[in-house]
């Protein structure tokens, strides 16, 4: 039947030529631009897509519309929070100040970012609605920040690279550099001790893996492994990734990580460990080890780049026409 023709099984063998490109990406390019978690998430979701997107650098055409897309939505939110909080870097931000920012500064800041990102001075009905959603989302987020206050902001849209700090892992005898951008790095008071939080803002749905099942702790090796095998947990993978880089640079600090799911900003920070407590040394070590394994697998010439087994991922893949899925 012609179904067989449409669903093509595609595997890309790692020929010497392909291996050269993979090594170029991981070893050479990471010296200039460290490997960010999205690159690893691409591989975990679908090795073939990783190959097409990262190695071949294929880009499929996207529809151009006048509406705000999720990327622009995310950008407006990120920029608004960055510019709202920037004047308070390294200062203690009190509950009162957060609530004052919410009532006095938030709306005009959103309008400014809208203008920059979308190039709009006047709001059409569609964009008016979008602006309302963003304002509502950020009001709830600031309410939660007020509850967590006092907060000391240490970094906003903080780039992790050779100028600041990054993580060097030796894979197959050569260094691979890991970095990226931390949306927000702050410190709160946790029962009298400073707790550093690495926070990501996420526009889409976020699923956090619980470290317990029916009140029993999940075996840590299984727990960490799930992040590297189940794409559903990609937001948490990113949280641990940045937390590890920060912790290796500041081993004396108590570090936790979490996600502000913007669709549910009223719920506050979604911590990777269920609650705001420091990530244990054991988990950091296991995570680093598993990261190392993943990089080795990408560099393993006997493991071809094959299609994902999870066809749900295909439904929003830019390359589905190539596979016919």
d(Cα 115, Cα 123) in Å, to the nearest integer?
10
User: Where is pLDDT greater, at 229 or 8?
Assistant: 229
Q: Is the pLDDT of residue 1 over 50?
A: no
Query: Encoding tokens for residue 267?
Result: 């719920």
Q: Is the pLDDT of residue 5 over 50?
A: no
Give me the DSSP letters along 49-115.
Answer: HHIIIIIS---------SSPPHHHHHHHHHHHHHHHHGGGTTSEEPHHHHHHHHHHTHHHHHHHHHH
Evaluate whether 42 touches 54 at the Cβ level (below 8 Å).
yes
Evaluate whether 181 touches 38 at the Cβ level (below 8 Å).
no
63: left (phi over 0), alpha (psi -120 to 50) or beta: beta
| Mean pLDDT taken over the chain | 91
Q: Is the pLDDT of residue 241 over 90?
A: yes
pTM score, two decimals? 0.91
Give every strand in the sheet of 270-271, ordered side by side: 92-93, 151-160, 180-190, 193-202, 255-261, 270-271
Question: For the segment 9-37, what is each residue's pLDDT rounded down to a tens digit?
Answer: 889 999 999 999 999 999 999 999 999 99
Span of 96-110, 237-251, 307-321 with lowest mean pLDDT: 307-321
Question: For the segment 304-321, what is each residue's pLDDT rounded down to a tens digit?
Answer: 999 998 888 888 888 888
* Residue 145 CB neighbour total at 10 angstroms: 26
């Amino acid at each position: 039947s012609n179904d067989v023709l449409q669903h093509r099984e595609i595997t890309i063998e790692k020929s010497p030529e392909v291996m050269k490109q993979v090594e170029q990406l991981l070893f050479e390019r990471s010296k200039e631009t460290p490997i960010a978690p999205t690159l690893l998430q691409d591989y975990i979701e679908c090795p073939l897509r990783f190959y097409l997107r990262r190695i071949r650098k294929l880009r499929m055409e996207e529809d151009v519309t006048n509406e705000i897309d999720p990327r622009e939505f995310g950008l407006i939110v990120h920029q608004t929070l960055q510019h709202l909080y920037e004047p308070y870097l390294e200062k203690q931000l009190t509950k009162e100040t957060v609530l004052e920012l919410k009532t006095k500064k938030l709306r005009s800041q959103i309008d400014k970012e809208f203008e920059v990102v979308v190039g709009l001075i006047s709001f059409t009905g569609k964009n008016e609605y979008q602006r309302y959603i963003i304002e509502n989302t950020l009001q709830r987020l600031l309410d939660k920040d007020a509850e967590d206050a006092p907060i000391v902001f240490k970094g906003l849209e903080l780039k992790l690279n050779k100028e600041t700090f990054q993580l060097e892992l030796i894979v197959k005898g050569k260094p691979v550099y890991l970095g990226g951008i931390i949306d927000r790095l702050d410190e709160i008071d946790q029962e009298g001790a400073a707790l550093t939080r690495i926070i990501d803002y996420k526009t889409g749905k976020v699923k956090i893996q619980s470290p317990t099942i029916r009140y029993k702790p999940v075996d840590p090796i299984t727990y960490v492994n799930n992040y590297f095998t189940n794409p559903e947990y990609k937001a948490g993978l990113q949280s641990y990734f940045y937390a590890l880089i920060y912790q290796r640079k500041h081993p004396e600090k108590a570090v936790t990580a979490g996600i502000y799911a913007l669709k549910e900003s009223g719920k506050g920070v979604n911590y990777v460990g269920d609650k705001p407590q420091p990530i244990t040394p054991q988990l950091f070590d296991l995570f680093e080890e598993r990261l190392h394994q993943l990089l080795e697998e990408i560099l393993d010439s006997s493991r071809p780049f094959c299609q994902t087994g999870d066809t749900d991922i295909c439904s929003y893949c830019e390359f589905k026409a190539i596979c016919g899925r």
